[in-house]
A and B are shown apart, each in its own frame.
Chain A
Amino acid sequence: MNNSSKKGGFDVDIRSLLKIQHKKVYAICRLFADTYKEHQFLFTNIMAAASQNIRGRRENSDKQTLVLRACINMAALHSITMDMAPVVERSIQFKSPDYQRSMTRLRQSMGEASDYEKFRLFLELEKMPVEELTHLTGLPHSKNASGKKKEKEAELSKTSFNFIPYLKRQLVWN
């Protein structure tokens, strides 16, 4: 029996998937949010993004990947927004003393990790293969990054027409 019935316009399948995956969403929030308000905001946005991705998905895309992409994309947007906000001293602020302690310890162990490193760390700590990062971010895998880049360039030079680069940029929005 198909259990993807709709209840008030809401897909039950998405509900159960998001409930299963919510720990991963909490996990990425830990790496990117400094206060409980940021944490709540990022969490709800990731959930909304994941649900939107699943509802608008194409046949060949995997639900788990779509949830992880929502996590990474929303975390990146959160970072961009935080970078643009007026500079204020950012400190860890959680109400629960236990959580506050754990978050402070986590930040100390991470140091000044960049977002790319945080994404890698997220996959590593959530016991997912690091190669998955290429699939989620579109960035080349570090070990063979340069090799792949060269391959890609060679492929491009073979297939692409000799457009004037400026004209091509104007005509084709990539």
Chain B
Amino acid sequence: MELKKLQEHWDSFPEVSMEERPILSSDLEKIVVKNPLSDAFYLRRRLLARIIVFSVLWIVNAVQLRSQWISDGPDISELVALCGLLSYCLYFHIRLLFFADYPTLLSLPLISFLGKLETVLDKYILSFKFVSGLSGFYVLALIQYLLSGWNKGAHETLSHNDWYKWLILIFISVSVDILLLHSIIPKYRKLLAGVRKYKEGIQAKAQNK
């Protein structure tokens, strides 16, 4: 009975007033070319930017590694580790971009859509660990470069002592990781928790019905 009343009310629902209505005819083209996902959910551009940056860094690293290999330089182990990390980062980000498949994401059934969104956000949060690791390598290189100008002795000591280098690298990586954990990551964590809560809520409701 209640549903019947609601149906009557629904059928006699007034049209949205012209003032409040989104313009359909002339603006339709503009409406449909815009990206429907909000910035927080749409990570495509960020992933692409990272892939481009990592590719450039990978090429630079490969050139450096080659020259060090030929001249039997002191930084080979560091460059090999950096090459491995960059290669994995590239693989991880390209895989995530293909997995997200943004053009078809919204055509999935709700639960699969939310599940995919959850996985993408989860993996994107994980990707900040790689960013921390990489920043360790590059900040260490920056420190070495600055020391070579200011204090030749310190630079020589650091260049020939792998222990110091790796300790500084780990320290910087952990520090950057902590910084990211308290600055950028909470926003994505909150989003992930929101998606997860919604998905679990709707599944629970459907099972209780």
Contacts and interface: CB of A to CB of B under 8 A. Distances in A.
Contact of A56 (B104, B201, B205): B104
A77 B195 CA distance: 8
Contacts of A72: 110
A47 interface: yes
A145 B32 contact: no
A57 B107 contact: yes
B77 interface: no
Contact of A115 (B24, B33, B112, B202): B202
A40 B110 CA distance: 22
A106 B9 CA distance: 8
A56 B103 contact: yes
Nearest to A51: B32
Interface in B1-40: 2-3, 5-7, 9-10, 13-14, 16-17, 19-22, 24, 28-29, 31-38
B207 interface: yes
Interface string B148-160: 0000000000000
A56 B209 contact: no
A102 B194 contact: no
Interface string A31-60: 000001001100111111111110111100
A95 B19 contact: yes
A14 B191 CA distance: 32
SS of B interface (majority): helix
A61 interface: yes
30 contacts: A8-B29, A15-B28, A26-B16, A27-B10, A30-B13, A44-B31, A47-B28, A47-B32, A48-B35, A48-B36, A51-B33, A52-B32, A56-B104, A70-B106, A74-B36, A76-B202, A95-B19, A96-B16, A96-B17, A99-B17, A99-B20, A106-B9, A114-B201, A116-B206, A137-B111, A137-B202, A138-B112, A146-B207, A149-B207, A174-B115
Given A137-B206, A145-B207, 17 more contacts: A8-B29, A10-B32, A47-B32, A61-B107, A69-B108, A84-B191, A96-B17, A96-B20, A99-B16, A106-B13, A109-B6, A109-B9, A115-B202, A136-B110, A137-B111, A139-B203, A145-B209
